[in-house]
Structure 1
Amino acid sequence: MPVHRSGTGTDRRSRALRRLPAVGILLAALSLLFALPAPAADTPARGSARMGIGVIAHDGQGGLPSSGDATQTEGVDVSAYQGNVAWSTLWNSGVRWAYVKASEGTYYTNPYFAQQYNGSYNVGMIRGSYHFATPDTTSGATQASYFVSHGGGWSRDGRTLPGALDIEWNPYGAACFGKSTSGMVSWIADFVNTYHSLTGRYPVIYTATSWWTQCTGNYAGFAANNPLWIARYASDPGTLPAGWGYYTMWQYTSSGPTVGDHDKFNGALDRVVALANG
């Protein structure tokens, strides 16, 4: 008795050929999927920004201050990037003041803040805290309030420096955070005025001349009240932003001993104390 088959060999080949386009489409889709570029690996996670994060990339580096500079006082700035800091080692090397990252935007506080802020104080340093600005997330007033509530306050104890506003290249996107020059000036003024109203002190402004020129139009209006902390990794601080005739602090390297970010205060230790006292 003949065996019944579902189709002839020719029929089976025809059905297989009809399935080929679908298989081809699937393979093509898979090849496109795996060919898509991966997310940029060098974009840091929110909260990981720190002073000088864009300096080398935008301004480069070259040279260290000469030993013949006028009397200056060595300092450091730290963030969660440094973890627990060996403050005694820094003190023994001549470091006498420090700034510690307290906050960023309104979404981040430094998990090492207590060890860093209290640790520097406990070895005898004069210390302060800084806020990394993200003008594209919330207003200047909102961020100033957040900063003061999370370690950015000030007390007249002779050992606490006024808070610092770290305003520089955006590590998460467009350099100027999507702001026009006038919009950036307004944001900074909002932060400065709110911080002053909450603490009685004007904050230090940390920035780089090239960023300030690009993103504020080289605005000169903050120089009257806000001490300047200039960032430049070179043998001298270079041209300063408009309005400031001198710098108060200078971040001169990101590869110093014990912790990378080292700074000069433009004066002897008694001038650091004077800034702390207001």
Structure 2
Amino acid sequence: MTTTTTTQETELEREAPRAEELAALLLSAERPARPSALTTSLTFGWRAMLKIKHVPEQMFDVTAFPIMMVLMYTYLFGGAIAGSVSAYVQFLLPGILTMSVVMITMYTGVAVNTDIVKGVFDRFRSLPIWRPSPMVGYLLGDVVRYLIASAVMLGVGLLIGYRPAGGVAGVLLGVALLMVFAFSFSWIWTMFGLLLRTEKSVMGVSMMVIFPLTFLSNVFVDPRTMPGWLQAFVNNSPVTHVATAVRELMAGEWPAADIAWSLGWSALLVAVFGPVTMRLYNRR
């Protein structure tokens, strides 16, 4: 009995200095600086990219889908609308590029909703970080996917005869403008991802919104051939402004009005849906 007590006391005496050293180390060391908004947003953006590594099937919508869209609409409507595929692809490709990237944005809401159902967002809210950074990270990660889709579609377009008169500079400016709009437009789907209960609901509502908005535009045909009441809607659609701006930039022109409209729509979307999304996120 005495031997056991003595052994325990000896162990406690050995651990006491270690505990004191550890406490002194923790108290004397400076706490690491709180991560900045940019750092946390980029970290969550990288997390979104790592999900593609583990689930490569997610790349289907930015590779196979854009290729299918370009080939299908070019060869289906080219001869009937413009008389030849080579003539129609000059008009179609910037428009179908805009349409495809805008349609891909809805998967942001699906990803947000999936993480909510799994309880991941509960962990994010407990972290000492800038509150919107998980949402911004999602959108930044998706911008990379939009860039991949744009590169795939432009590559296919060049193979089937698309020749942008604006050269590399015009193409880069058009894609950059499209990325700004897609980032802003994605805030709509983050709101739906937080508001709706299941990812199927998010997909259903997104399709109901995005299909009329993209098809009722100047992506496929000139709006001047449409009825007057439809022209009024199409000419004021944000997708029409972005598609026109991208088309003209790639053609070597500078459509100042459509660029201004595109940037204005982008700012409006962030100003409206950004605060709504964060309010839903904080209350979720």
If the length of structure 1 is used for normalisation, what is the TM-score? 0.28
Between structure 1 and structure 2, the one with the greater Rg is: 1
Higher strand share goes to which structure?
Answer: 1
Q: Whose RCO is larger (CA < 8 A, sep 6+)? A: 2
